[in-house]
């Protein structure tokens, strides 16, 4: 039994570290599109990690995160699609719920959904940072070293990127004003 658990644990840790590397590249990006594409790849690794840890709510919600990222890119600002994603998250959590720890993946998935559909730029990264904190708590509680490090470094990298974006916004406010108008137009189309 220990050998099987050891292999599963090592595989889970491995995929947590793979996700870590991808997340660092994602949150270091100043481009929203590149951020979302890299997050899809990272979440495949996170889903595999959660499967090896038998954390089924986290695994299923992570797979839904991948779908959410693709939908959020296609349906920017769509409240109807957002509601559908939130309902899918609730249903998935209800069907796979094992323990009170499963509340953290649900909180993370909800914050991530709201951030990706309703926010852009700095505000989106703040919401995604809060989601990463919830994922980090989940990883701590299930015993995932790789996942905990990944989410902790995501929080730090994300905070640094937010700081960099704030500096650019102060230096070139007209660029940020134009991108805010563009984002508002996308939501209304």
Give the 3-state secondary structure of the chain: CHHHHHHHHHHHHHHHHHHHHHHHHHHHCCCHHHHHHHHHHHHHHHHHHHHHCCCHHHHHHHHHHHHHHHHHHHCCCCHHHHHHHHHHHHHHHHHHCCCHHHHHHHHHHHHHHHHHHHCCHHHHHHHHHHHHHHHHHHHHHHCCHHHHHHHHHHHHHHHHHHHHHHHHHHHCHHHHHHHHHHHHHHHHC
pLDDT at 2: 44
Number of domains forming the structure of the chain: 1
Over pLDDT 90: what percentage of the chain?
58
Residue 1 has pLDDT above 50, yes or no: no
pLDDT at 186: 55
More confident residue, 31 or 101: 101
pLDDT at 183: 54
Best mean pLDDT range from 86-100, 108-122, 137-151, 164-178 = 86-100
pLDDT in tens, 22-62: 987 887 777 877 877 888 899 999 999 999 999 999 999 99
pLDDT at 32: 76
pLDDT in tens, 57-93: 999 999 999 999 889 888 988 999 999 999 999 999 9
What range defines the domain where residue 141 resides?
2-188
pTM, two decimals, is 0.82
More confident residue, 96 or 153: 96
pLDDT at 4: 53
pLDDT at 161: 87
More confident residue, 1 or 75: 75
């Amino acid at each position: 039994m220990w050998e099987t658990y050891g292999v599963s644990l090592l595989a889970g840790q491995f995929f947590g570290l793979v996700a870590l590397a991808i997340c660092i590249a994602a949150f270091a990006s100043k481009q929203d599109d590149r951020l979302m594409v890299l997050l899809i790849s990272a979440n495949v690794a996170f889903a595999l990690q959660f499967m090896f840890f038998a954390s089924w709510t986290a695994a299923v919600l992570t797979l839904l995160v991948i779908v959410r990222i693709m939908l959020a890119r296609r349906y920017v600002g769509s409240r109807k699609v957002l509601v559908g994603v939130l309902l899918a998250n609730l249903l998935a959590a209800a069907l796979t719920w094992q323990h009170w720890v499963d509340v953290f993946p649900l909180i993370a998935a909800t914050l991530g959904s709201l951030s990706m559909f309703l926010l852009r730029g700095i505000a989106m990264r703040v919401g995604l940072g809060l989601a990463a904190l919830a994922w980090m708590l989940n990883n701590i509680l299930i015993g995932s070293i790789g996942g905990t490090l990944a989410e902790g470094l995501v929080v730090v990298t994300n905070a640094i990127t937010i700081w960099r974006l704030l500096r650019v916004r102060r230096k070139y406010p007209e660029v940020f004003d134009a991108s805010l108008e563009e984002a508002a137009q996308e939501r209304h189309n």
